[in-house]
Amino acid sequence: MKLNYVKNENIDKIRWDEVIANSFNGIVYAYSWYLDIIADNWDALIDENFEYVFPIVWRKKFGIKYIYQPYFTQQLGVFSTKIISSEIVALFCNSIPSEYKVVNQQLNTYNDLVDDNLKKKIRTTYQLDLILPFDLLQKSFSENNKRNYKRALKNNLFTVNTLVPEDLINLFQKDKLGQFRQTKPKDFNNLKNIMFTSKHKGIGQLWSVYSKEKVLLAGAYFIESNNKIIFLFSATNSKGREFGAMSFLLTEFIRLNAGRNITIDFEGSDVESVARFYKSFGAKKTEYISWFLNRLPFPLNILKTF
């Protein structure tokens, strides 16, 4: 298979998006419009028949070009309507041009990477198929989750979808003040643009939970594409945690989408407490690969600067 490195301005984005739309492993993060918003720069490796595509998201620091995983983009890697073998994944990873001195990238759940020369780490996400009726899905919920739902109903919590992206981001920033110093204003602006654009495309939903006094307790944003719903972003304040607002929001979302041939991806997590929360909805652990490459000369290759 011959691979071509294609700069962004030369990518046929209509054809690119057709590949992502028809890929068995297509996911919203890989569409050109999403990458255009979220990435500082992105080019691609594409095979000669335009059947396999591999986005390369990159930055430059101290004059050094490096590949990174942008915020709000859990998985990238190789996408295709054809079979994607571990050899094909390795071919793409090993074909990244030498001008990129550091690579830190997360592949998608359908990309297996078997190459002893490449450093990799197994990461986890949790997914829940919604095809069953809600009463059957709820049987897999934890008892604590069921109690939280009943408590929320007893306290007259209610959901609406009229919240605007700025309000959800503000709720997050107020609650997590000082905890996410690496997340820059630009990253939140990108997130806001993702939310506005996906809502305009008719694939985004912004849910919120209010108390009976009409006080905002929690919010979440979902994006749907390729038979998958991504739980992209959420926020809860202290009062919301006290009332189990996020558990209530997700239960209501699952209830209203139950019976559909679609999967919700909770986007994580390797953090045990977060993983336990997602498992409480009956979600199953799914693995994907994060891989790393460092071509910097000594002693730069031992510094964690990227």
pLDDT at 269: 81
pLDDT tens track, the chain, 306 positions: 999 999 999 999 999 999 999 999 999 999 999 999 999 999 999 999 999 999 999 999 989 999 999 999 999 999 999 999 999 999 999 999 999 999 999 999 999 998 888 899 999 999 999 999 999 999 999 999 999 899 999 999 999 988 899 999 999 988 775 555 566 889 999 999 999 999 999 999 999 999 999 999 999 999 999 999 999 999 999 999 999 999 999 999 999 999 999 999 999 888 888 999 999 999 999 999 999 999 887 656 665 554
Select from 90, 46, 27, 77 the least CA-distant residue to 267.
27
Question: How many Å apart are CA 283 and CA 35, to the nearest integer?
Answer: 28
pLDDT at 69: 96
Q: Is residue 218 classed as helix, strand or coil in its secondary structure?
A: strand
Distance of CA 17 to the CA centre of its chain: 18
Question: How many Å apart are CA 46 and CA 71, to the nearest integer?
Answer: 24
Q: Is residue 109 classed as helix, strand or coil in its secondary structure?
A: coil
pLDDT at 299: 58
Residue 79's DSSP bridge partners are 53
Angle of helix 185-200 relative to helix 165-175, nearest 10 degrees, comes to 150
Question: How many Å apart are CA 186 and CA 109, to the nearest integer?
Answer: 28
State both tokens at 217: 């307790």
